[in-house]
Amino acid sequence: MKKLLNRIGLFFEGFLLINIIWYLAYLFVHSTVIPNPIVVYQNFDKVLADHILIHILSSLERVGLGLGMSLLIGIPMGILMAYSNGANKILYPLVYFSYPIPKTALLPIAMLLWGMRDGSKIAIIFLIIIFQVIVAVRDSVQNIDPSLYLVTVSAGASKRQIIWHITLPAILPELLTSLRVSLGTAVSVLFFVEGYGTRYGMGYYIVDAWSRIDYIGMYSGIIVISVVGFALFAAVDFLSVKLCPWR
């Protein structure tokens, strides 16, 4: 808990510092491209009136679906690769090759395959997260101390019991660490994937304000997406503290 409070303190320090830099930039640059932060914060009444909560929820729904699918497919795949040499031999080259490909470059293909609506957006988020999940799960299962299997197998554990008592708890810390990183990437990619085929989402809100040369609105959108990104980061941190008390 203390760790979490420290992180929140760190967030506020960073938030304050960024705003000071922003304000100084506004004072020295004298351009409409860098508005006064105070004016941007005063604009939040209008942001709320623009149904920003619906935009946030739409984005979270896309991120949530992409994340859910990545976990549903990535966790069993990572476990399979760790436990089966045959599966690892086939799947590892595929993962190794696909891992560094910038997933946003696949956006045109995703659009052609799954259309301009939510399908392609969720597919890109899914592709960003799943490789992180597979690699984190496979590596943490491979790092399990063999003596843990020895004590449980000798005590009559079934395969299901081994997965429940050893494999799943062993992958949890590493999985949450990698999710923290990949969720950040997924939120940042909203800017691209919500720039088409939708009228809802934080990415859409920013792109829309930008195209209307409404810089105050654009900055407000950037602040909202940043806060949501941080909230997701903090939520995963909180989950790590709650779910992995032994760390």
Partner 1 sequence: MLTIDDISVSYRIKGKPVPVLKNFSLQLKQGEVIAVLGSSGCGKSTLIQVLAGMLPTDSGTVTAAVRGVNLPLNPKTHKIAVIPQNCGLLPWKTVRQNCLLPLQLHNLRIDDKKYAELEATCRSLKVDSLLERYPNELSGGQVQRVALARAFLQEPDLLLMDEPFSSLDTITRSDAWELFLNIWRQKQPTTILVTHSMEEAFYLGKEIAVLDKEKGGLLERMDNPYFGIQEPGCEGFFHRKRILQGLLKPKDGGGLS
For partner 1, the binding residues (CB under 8 A) are 145, 147-157, 161, 165-166, 169-170, 172, 244-246
What's the closest the beta carbon of residue 156 comes to partner 1, in angstroms?
4
Least distance between partner 1 and beta carbon 157 (Å): 5
Round the CA-based radius of gyration of the chain to a whole number and report it: 22
Residues 34/28, Cβ–Cβ less than 8 Å: no
Largest separation between any pair of C-alpha atoms in the chain: 73
CB of 171 to partner 1, least distance (A): 11
Per DSSP, the residues of 146-188 read HHHHHHHHHTT--HHHHIIIIIHHHHHHHHHHHHHHHHHHHHH
Phi then psi dihedrals of residue 197, to 5 deg:
60, 20
Rank residues 52 and 148 by Cβ distance to partner 1 and give the closer one: 148
**Rounded distance, CA 99 to CA 61, Å?**
24
d(CA 216, CA 129) in angstroms, rounded, equals: 32
**Which among 138, 45, 130 is positioned nearest to 88, based on CA atoms?**
138
To the nearest whole angstrom, how small is the minimum distance from the Cβ of residue 161 to partner 1? 6
CB of 175 to partner 1, least distance (A): 13
Given the complex with partner 1, which of 28 and 246 has the nearer CB atom? Answer: 246
Between 31 and 161, name the residue whose CB sits nearer to partner 1.
161
Measured CA to CA, the distance from residue 16 to residue 238 in angstroms comes to 23
The whole-angstrom separation of Cα 237 and Cα 228 is: 14
Choice between 57 and 244, CB closer to partner 1: 244
Residue (109 or 151) nearer to partner 1, CB:
151
Nearer to partner 1 among residue 91 and residue 244 (C-beta): 244
Give min distance, CB of 180 to partner 1, in A. Answer: 19
